[in-house]
Amino acid sequence: MTTKNEILSLLRRNPLTISQLCEQLGVTRNAVNVQVKQLEAEGLIRQSKLRQYSGLGKPAVFYETSPGTEDIASGGYRVILLSLLKTLANRTDASDLGDALDEAGRQLARDAGLAKPVDFESGLKAAMAAADALGASTEAIVQSDGVLVRNYSCPLGSAVREEKCVCRALAAFFSEATGLPATEQCLRDDRLICQYLIKQSAG
């Protein structure tokens, strides 16, 4: 565990001062200060309203984790997603599950502010950047009938191996973000390679 993660772990339990962090971590004040400033700049921690008055000089500042960071290092989402997919697959037919994933992908694009793009190129660029931010590694390949977005790092790989129709969610995401129909053409035989063909009308 790095010092940064150790600081986060301690501050999740109680607000602490720099001196208290140094004491509990067994590191120098300078080492803690560097990490605290970085964590504060990233919005992961903040100064608490608590102050420690000793009667001399300025009161000591307490630090605490910021709201919304409770799950910053959580591995729970993957487990819950896989369990949810299994449950839905058992309780609904394939077409209903596919429709739900389509809508989830479109909603993802809308929530990211990517729906209704000014033009195809800007929409595609923004969608690829958003996918990369989720852990993808995309490139666009121009083809005779449209543009193939190839992704060499599937951000939903575990879910896709469990339920192949998960790919439809990202296809719908690209469709909503570009304003054109998109279909998944993913390769799943060995290493996952995501592919989404965004169809452009001839001429």
Q: For 5-22, how does the pLDDT look when each residue is reduced to its tens digit (9 = 90+)?
A: 899 999 999 999 999 999
The answer to whether residue 121 sits within a structural domain is yes
pLDDT at 162: 79
CATH number of residue 33's parent domain: 1.10.10.10
103 and 156 part of one domain: yes
Q: Is the separation of the CB atoms in 164 and 201 below 8 Å?
A: no
pLDDT at 78: 85
The vertex-150 CA angle with 144 and 155, nearest 5°, equals: 155
152 and 189 part of one domain: yes
40 and 100 part of one domain: no
- Parent domain of 37: 3-65
Q: How many domains does the chain have?
A: 2
pLDDT at 191: 80
Cα–Cα distance between 133 and 20 in angstroms, integer?
A: 36
Domain boundary among 23, 49, 65: 65
CATH number of residue 98's parent domain: 3.30.565
Confidence of residue 202 (pLDDT cuts 50, 70, 90): low
- For the chain, give the percent of residues with pLDDT over 70: 94
- For the chain, give the percent of residues with pLDDT over 90: 57
The answer to whether residue 139 sits within a structural domain is yes
- State the residue for tokens 């666009």: 140
Those residues with Cβ within 8 angstroms of residue 165's Cβ, 6 or more apart along the chain or in another chain? 94, 97, 98, 101
The answer to whether residue 76 sits within a structural domain is no
The answer to whether residue 20 sits within a structural domain is yes
34 and 131 part of one domain: no
118 and 53 part of one domain: no
Confidence of residue 56 (pLDDT cuts 50, 70, 90): low
Integer distance in angstroms from the first to the last C-alpha of the chain? 56
Q: Is the separation of the CB atoms in 119 and 179 below 8 Å?
A: no
The answer to whether residue 172 sits within a structural domain is yes
Tell me the three state secondary structure of residue 106.
Answer: helix
Per-residue pLDDT of 85-142, as tens digits, reads 889 889 998 889 989 999 999 999 999 999 888 999 999 999 999 999 988 889 999 9
pLDDT at 158: 83
Domain boundary among 65, 81, 102: 65
The answer to whether residue 149 sits within a structural domain is yes
38 and 114 part of one domain: no
Read off the pLDDT of each residue in 186-195 and give the average, rounded to a whole number.
84
pLDDT at 57: 64
The vertex-7 CA angle with 46 and 155, nearest 5°, equals: 85
**pLDDT for 76 beyond 90:** no
**pLDDT for 1 beyond 60:** no
